[in-house]
Amino acid sequence: MRWAGLFALLLVPSVAAGDIELGGYLKLNAILSDRAQPGTSLSDQTFSVSGIPLRDGKAYDVKDTQFHAKESRFWMRGSGSVLGRNAGLLIEYDLLKDSAAYQPRRRHLYATVGSPQSGQLLVGQTYSTFANSAALADTDAGVSVGNIVTRQPMLRWMRESPSRQQQWVVSFEEPLSRIARQEAAALIVNDDIKVPDVILKWQTWQDWGSLSVAGMIRQLHAGQQSSVSSREGGAISIAAIINLGMLHNTRIIASAGNALGRYAGSHVPDAFINAAGEMQLRRAGSLTVAYQHFWTQSLRSTLSYGLSRADLPGYSPATLVRDARSLQVNLLWTPVPGLTLGAEYVYGHRAVRVGTQGELNRLQMSLRWNL
């Protein structure tokens, strides 16, 4: 679905005739980890499951200090009209593409036509419809285990109820299979799939908070690596924000299915191929629970706990992650509008199929200035 981003760019002239807004923020992170991966790794600069060192190497107790500004973001937002209908455009980049250099990484590139009330079409790359970005934990040092944060090209249609309290969404998104083979450490990555991932989502907003339910059907394809060229599977994700008073809230994301795979994180394969060349699907699940507390209007904290687990067959590679969990707690202070100072503690744990485990303790200090 590479055409999705191209189509979004084709709408730039129409949107440019309207209003253009530039923005972003600069963010500096200072990170101290009690353990680090050998060499230079992005996981030492932003928390990820695959970056939690295992207790099987000499580098396990090596401490690491990092300073970087790669989480800085820059965006352009436009609004205009196409064929008499409202149109919008968002292009956003950060600098987290490479561990050793400051290289732009595309986060969002999409265009919209229409309005949610009358029906809106979105074409381009953004958060998957399977995700609920509003329900993500307000963490500062990386995404909690269990959060769904996949961004990919798609074609999406959404419509809200007249009361604006409910929304229905259908999307066709980039199909990509990441498949594990017996005794092979590297995953098969195949995007030569004719059928897109199909996702349906219903969402509601009420006085008590919000709730979304998303269902997904996928075709997983291994190309010539399997005697069975493809299999179909699915997954479901439920996300909620529960208001606790005027400011405090609890956020929950729970997902499960036999094709959850990469949507739960890069450490979870989509399918497996055994010695006979047969492709098999296995269940996986993830959960994140976070509580956000406002001490004052300008001072807030989040406590987030996340976990994920995959049912791995005995023939799968020994280094695949069987289960992982994280705990994060932070303090974020906004002394003046546009400036936020943060401190966050992160604990991460992972265990691979053969039982080897590892854990990570990290402290991150940050300064963010909105442009």
Domains detected in the chain: 3-370 (2.40.160.10)
**For residue 152, pLDDT beyond 80:** yes
* Dihedral of alpha carbons 360, 270, 110, 206, sign: negative
In the sheet with 271-273, reading across from the earlier edge strand, the strands are 188-190, 177-181, 271-273, 279-280
Q: What is the pLDDT of residues 269-312, one digit of tens each?
A: 999 988 888 889 999 999 999 999 999 999 999 999 999 999 99
Q: How far apart are CA 159 and CA 289, in angstroms?
A: 28
Stretch (H or E) spanning 107 = strand 105-115
- What is the pLDDT confidence band of residue 14, given thresholds at 50, 70 and 90? low
pLDDT given for residue 191 in this prediction:
81
- Rounded mean pLDDT of the chain? 90
Please state which of the ranges 112-126, 187-201, 218-232 shows the lowest mean pLDDT: 218-232
* Residues comprising the chain, all counted: 371
- What is the pLDDT confidence band of residue 223, given thresholds at 50, 70 and 90? confident
Please state which of the ranges 18-22, 180-184, 193-197, 326-330 shows the lowest mean pLDDT: 180-184
